Structure 1
């Protein structure tokens, strides 16, 4: 060993803690479920629709060829991508009263995330409403702007009682008890 290199040859840097989150607070890829991955791919696909105005079949084909898609829940991806695009006007109508600005001033990332949240709240009743909100907040933390997750959370938290009244009421009743 020389004085310039005090470490023995072949030594490794210290291990990083495996907390399951990155330095930004987003979940690490290894800790994501197939549905979480499906939401990520659906968001990327919806972004292509919102920004590029690409054809949904071209978007679908392109997205399925991306690295890591095989680890996602392809059935959930299909439901989100095609459901959000097919019901875009209806989802926007549900979300608009909860916004403080027009959709034209909202990032396409946050717009896509809110579509996913609204779609899941409306159609994916097997996913608890709090899980829908948490998953959308995680997407916004990972892909959105600095405080986009706060906006997404506020809008979807306002939407949940109208689409899942009994479930939200029961959860909020437990919290008060």
Structure 2
């Protein structure tokens, strides 16, 4: 949690996902360790108000489980994994991680948050692609 004590709010979780997506994208491009990327984010980004524990869980969870995550969503892609835009890949990795490893979070929340992040960071229609892939992931893991 951040400096303000109390319950974790949806807004704090959203900020954690927002920063985690950026950190995962950075990791994909640089292959720096998750620890180094987290350190940079905590120093350089306005992370105030984010659930920092969740941010840590998301970044380290995606990096440490990337093979299983990619194997989970890749069969539902309309193109080869290597051809995915890096932002789309980061959004799909983040969403798939939550679907697999954070099952206390309702899948509708995960998909909705992934769509919001895709609209915020990715190409114009990426949110539709992300929605379709994660919807198929949900059906496959249920």
Same fold per superposition (TM over 0.5): yes
Paired with 1:148 and 1:160, the residues of 2 have a C-alpha distance of: 18
Partner residue, 2:87 = 109
Q: Flag the structure with more relative contact order, 1 or 2, with Cα contacts below 8 A and sequence separation at least 6.
A: 2
Runs in 1 of length 4+ with deviation above 6 angstroms? none
What is the CA-CA distance between 1:51 and the residue it aligns to?
Answer: 1.2
Partner residue, 2:62 = 84
Residue among 93, 102, 126 paired with 1:124:
102
Aligned length: 133
Partner residue, 1:68 = 46
Note the 1:133-152 alignment, pairs <5 A: 133-152=111-130
What is the CA-CA distance between 1:66 and the residue it aligns to?
Answer: 3.3
Paired with 1:60 and 1:109, the residues of 2 have a C-alpha distance of: 18
Which structure dedicates a bigger proportion of its chain to helix?
Answer: 2
Query: 1:96-139 deviations in whole A, cap 9, x for unaligned?
Result: 10011112211111111111111111111221111100000000
Paired with 1:69 and 1:95, the residues of 2 have a C-alpha distance of: 29
Paired with 1:95 and 1:62, the residues of 2 have a C-alpha distance of: 29
Query: 1:62-108 deviations in whole A, cap 9, x for unaligned?
Result: 11123321210011111100000000011000011001111221111
TM-score by length of 1: 0.72
Query: 1:140-176 deviations in whole A, cap 9, x for unaligned?
Result: 000011111111000000001223x2xxxxxxxxxxx
TM-score by length of 2: 0.89
Paired with 1:155 and 1:130, the residues of 2 have a C-alpha distance of: 13
**In terms of Rg, which structure is larger?**
1
What is the CA-CA distance between 1:56 and the residue it aligns to?
Answer: 1.8
What is the CA-CA distance between 1:55 and the residue it aligns to?
Answer: 2.2
Q: Is residue 136 of structure 2 the alignment partner of residue 158 of structure 1?
A: yes
Paired with 2:41 and 2:101, the residues of 1 have a C-alpha distance of: 23
